Amino acid sequence: MVSPDADGHPPLHGFRIGVTAARKVEEQIQLFTRRGAEVVWGPALSLEPHLVDADTLRAATERVLAEPVDIFLATTGVGMKGWFTATQEWGLYDALVAALGEAEILARGPKSMGVLRRHGLRELWSPDSECFDDVLAHLRGRDLSGRRIVVQEHGQDLSMVAHALRRQGARVETVAIYRVERAEDPARLFALIDQIADCSLDAVTFTAAPAVAALMEAAASVGRRDDVVSAFQSDVLACCVGPVAAAAFERHGVPTVYPERSRLGAMVRLLETELPLRRQGLSISLATGSTLLLHGDAVLLDGVEVHLSGSPLAVLNALVTNPGQVVSRADLLAHLPSGGAGSEHAVEMAVARLRSALGTRAVQTVIKRGYRLAVE
């Protein structure tokens, strides 16, 4: 049930939200429109993943089955489902399940875990973050000499991942089940990009990391990537379904929000709360006794406007996402206009300027961890 606001309107009444998804888009649009939002749809990716050639997948499967598998990395539910379906048609299903059942299975997230369990397989470990990078980090400190690792690719080429694992001594097989392609008709995406760049939207949703890359590439092709990045750093909220999609924005220095659970409904509910707060302005009581109010690019300290340049403002926006929580120097660096191309010294300079504007005690240093906003 959708609860109305104080004026009797649906909670997202008056907000314009861009949607980049292709899959389950009807459900997402309906969730937003039921809450009163106007939705602009611009799919960044094709409606369905493009399955690889059946002969290529079968050959890869036979290579996997040729020797025992020591470690198996499952990355996506749709990929695992497609692989099991294909092997059933070839009569190789039982052999594949048996081979994976003897392996140490690491699953990236709940979707791949769910498919594995439906086929009688159980993961031994999965990261809370649902990030593939954390799966790799889990393996990084281990001796993989001679270990045979099979990696299910998640719609994108993982040859560099395979190379990194081989440097640890592993023998690696990658299995591509499908490829994520750009949208067949980019007209809607270009229209969405124009609205983002012109700050005509309040938020844009992303349910897959490749959609972020596709949107940025499309924006660059029409000379509007800088405008899009600037819009996301100021007036337009980039809302991701989870940390994997959010991580794709880091290299662009774009702040994001995402729900604790990587689910479509949770993302919609997050915007239901977040957007009205942004419109009203975010008010934070600092430990110094002052009140900080943020409304778009405007920053007021005890009612007096504070003028911040790009880097200090970017640091402040990162710190207020979770007031009082520590944000690492690396994360702050990713939010700076220069992105990851800068250095931690740039972060220190931005923090110094922010302290100069808000007061020395407004931003606390947490030794060896980063910085946080000092709140009551």
Determine the Cα angle at 261 with ends 333 and 19, to 5°.
75
Separation of alpha carbons 314 and 333, rounded Å = 9
> Which residues of the chain are under the pLDDT cut of 70?
1-7, 280-281, 295-297, 338-342
Q: Decide: 274 and 262 in contact? Cβ < 8 Å.
A: no
- Give me the pLDDT at residue 182, please: 86
pLDDT for res 332: 87
| DSSP track, 148-216 | EEEEE--SS--HHHHHHHHHTT-EEEEE--EE--B-S-THHHHHHHHHHHTT--SEEEESSHHHHHHHH
Q: Tally Cβ neighbours within 10 Å of residue 69.
A: 20
Residue type, 105: I
Contact 72, 79 (CB under 8 A): no
Output phi, psi for 375, to 5 deg: -115, 160
Q: Within this chain, do residues 57 and 172 fall inside the same structural domain, yes or no?
A: yes
Domain containing 360 equals 281-373
The pLDDT assigned to 295 comes to 66
Whether residue 214 is contained in a domain is answered as yes
Both 124 and 62 in one domain: the answer is yes
Q: With contact defined as beta carbons under 8 Å apart, do 150 and 107 qualify?
A: no
CB atoms under 10 Å from CB of 26, counted, come to 10
> What confidence score (pLDDT) does residue 3 get?
64
Domain boundary among 230, 261, 278: 278
Residue 7: inside a domain, yes or no? no
Structure confidence at residue 9 (pLDDT):
79
Residues in the chain: 376
- Closest among 118, 121, 123 to 105, alpha carbons compared: 123
Total of domains in the chain:
3
Say whether both 344 and 292 belong to one domain: yes
What is the CATH number for 212? 3.40.50.10090
Signed CA dihedral, 52, 154, 242, 20: sign only = negative
213 and 260 fall within a common domain: yes
Whether residue 157 is found in the same domain as residue 57: yes
CB 42 within 8 A of CB 188: yes
DSSP state of 52: P
Select from 216, 188, 197 the least CA-distant residue to 39. Answer: 188
> 174 and 153 in one domain?
yes
DSSP secondary structure letters along 262-325: --HHHHHHHHHHHHHHHHH-EEEEBTTS-EEEEETTEEEETTEE----HHHHHHHHHHHHSTTS
Q: Which residue, of 116, 149, 179, is where some domain finishes?
A: 179
| Matching residue, tokens 């990078």 | 133
Q: pLDDT digit string (tens) for 235-280?
A: 899 999 988 888 889 889 898 989 988 889 999 999 998 888 777 6
pLDDT at 225: 95
Q: What pLDDT does residue 6 have?
A: 57
Which pLDDT belongs to residue 303? 76
**Same-domain check for residues 200 and 296:** no
Among candidate residues 235, 259, 278, the one where a domain is terminated: 278
Q: Which pLDDT does position 292 carry in this prediction? A: 84
pLDDT at 343: 76
Distances, alpha carbon 162 to alpha carbons 87, 151, 169, 173, 174, in Å: 23, 8, 11, 8, 7
- Smallest Cα–Cα separation from 215: which of 16, 18, 17, 15? 18
For the stretch 283-297, pLDDT in tens is 788 888 888 887 666
- The separation between the first and the last C-alpha atoms of the chain, rounded to the nearest angstrom, is 34
